[in-house]
Amino acid sequence: MSLSQFSDQLIHDQFSSSQYQLLHKIGEGGFGKVFKAIQINTGQPVAIKFLAIEAHCDEQQKQRYVERFKRETALSSQVQHPNIVRLLDKGQINDNLLYGVFEYVDGQPLREHLTQEGALNAVDAKEVMLQVLDALVHAHQNGIVHRDIKPANTLYLRRTGKIKIIDFGLSKIFEDD
């Protein structure tokens, strides 16, 4: 069952917060939707990722989605690196609407950039990979394996060439022996 059937308007209607004002949707995946918003007391833009669970979703499937989302926010809070999107806040509106507030990154998924602009030149590809690998080393040093590194989970900031890794939903914690 796809969570994309959960309407944008329903999220706007259910999400009432004195801290954040939703602006517009900036992304969507199999497990939720991402909206650009403004943190009201600072005026700073943020990205709010919603796990919107269909009301008719069976309880076992709902629990898997919730656990994955909670794992993503918990693991995201454990890594602080310039090439990993920071978790700023999280919450739950009702039984069917969980959210995580992340730093807003004015970029696009590397996948979209490559589709629109073509392959990176060797120098830019090296810079991108060095940033990705540095972020992964940091995550690994904190006992976290991302498990879903791909261009769609890597935001590319065209004007700076910087990279931000997103989506720790499939990550796992490991312990050194």
Q: CB burial class (10 A; 0-12, 13-18, 19+) of residue 152?
A: middle
C-alpha 131/C-alpha 44 separation (Å) is 25
List own/partner pairs for 138-141 with CB under 8 A and 24 or more apart: 138/79, 138/81, 138/83, 138/84, 139/79, 139/81, 139/84, 139/171
Residue keyed to tokens 């602009």: 117
Whether 95 sits among the annotated catalytic residues: the reply is no
Catalytic residue among 13, 148, 167, 176: 148
Catalytic residues: 148
